[in-house]
Structure 1
Amino acid sequence: MQPDLLQRARDVRLAIFDVDGVLTDGRLYFLEDGSEFKTFNTLDGHGIKMLIASGVRTAIISGRKTPVVERRASNLGIQHLYQGREDKLVVLDDLLAELGLEYRQVAYLGDDLPDLPVIRRVGLGMAVASADGFVRANAHGVTRARGGEGAAREFCELIMQAQGTLENARSAYL
């Protein structure tokens, strides 16, 4: 683990996730009736639950709007959900004002150009391995896992490792 990433993760109080390409593999599935579905990784979901239990707040900011994301966020206990929001930096600023947090206390995991302004502004801005190359090059770090394949779990565990809560969360299962 890069020492710089661990240092950046120590002060994180809010972790924010994009959806398509981060919590999913980025593919969009549309049925004939116009409805859509997404597939999510259970390892990512449990990582988010562990992160919440460790005291870190969570949020989703997505440019698309779909009921399945609302259901997934609710199932995981994600406290803040913003969908259909293209300007993610505006959402971030509003959320920080509401929570009384600073940029350095935020971690963000994204994959594409609309995520880049937030990635560059927060204390820990990361990209998934399958992210756009320009986004990867401008992030503080890149996960080993691809979006929808454990990248969010890796991100959550990095934060928990830096804050000294990961081993305790794991030992609860022994």
Structure 2
Amino acid sequence: MNDASLLQRAQAIRLAIFDVDGVLTDGRLYFLVDGSEFKTFNTLDGHGIKMLIASGVDTAIISGRQTPVVERRARNLGIRHLYQGREDKMAVLDELRGQLGLELHQVAYLGDDLPDLPVIRRVGLGMAVASADAFVREHAHGVTRARGGEGAAREFCELIMRGQGTLDAAQAAYL
């Protein structure tokens, strides 16, 4: 994903926001007999988020659902801003931007479904995962090649880093 317009949008990003179900996971909900739930996360996505944070971009999660699993995942990855159980994602975006002193063009968002669309349409870099709802894909600035929970967040992170010129150094550190 090296589209010149996406890379240009990525240059200004100071905050990357992720939805959870269908973005950081494959979108399936797993419920155990006792009523608890579990989710599976992709380690490539996780390392991409860690690299993005290390490059100086702040991160957040906004999810309509609430579960301790997401809190634990966010903490493990170093995601500073976690909003769960919040249906109005635009209200959360405005709240978060106010706290951080950011303009819309400095925010990126990765989502997959209709509740994500208002944010996708308004931020500087609004992306959808390959497995997103067709209407959401149609109105996003770009679409990842990977499906949610299968490396889409890693693509998103690397796109931002590529646009900011930090990806090569981050990867070179492992040579």
> What stretches of structure 2 of length at least 5 have no aligned partner?
none
Would you say 1:104 and 2:105 are equivalent positions?
A: yes
CA–CA distance in structure 1, aligned partners of residues 150 and 98 of structure 2: 32
Aligned to 1:94: 95
Aligned to 2:21: 20
Runs of 4+ aligned structure 1 residues displaced above 3 Å come to none
> What stretches of structure 1 of length at least 5 have no aligned partner?
none
Aligned to 2:79: 78
Aligned to 1:7: 8
SS of the equivalent of 2:25 reads: coil
Aligned to 2:32: 31
Aligned to 1:40: 41
CA–CA distance in structure 1, aligned partners of residues 125 and 163 of structure 2: 12
Q: Read off the aligned partner of 1:60 and give its amino acid letter.
A: I
**Number of equivalent positions:** 174
CA–CA distance in structure 2, aligned partners of residues 173 and 38 of structure 1: 29
Q: CA deviation at 1:122?
A: 0.1
Aligned to 1:123: 124
CA–CA distance in structure 2, aligned partners of residues 9 and 172 of structure 1: 22
TM-score when normalising by structure 1 = 1.00
SS of the equivalent of 2:127 reads: strand
In the TM superposition, what whole-angstrom CA distance separates every residue of 1:93-138 from its partner, at most 9, and x where no partner exists?
0000000000000000000000000000000000000000000000
TM-score when normalising by structure 2 = 0.99
In the TM superposition, what whole-angstrom CA distance separates every residue of 1:40-94 from its partner, at most 9, and x where no partner exists?
0000000000000000000000000000000000000001000000000000000
Task: Note the aligned Cα RMSD (angstroms).
Answer: 0.2
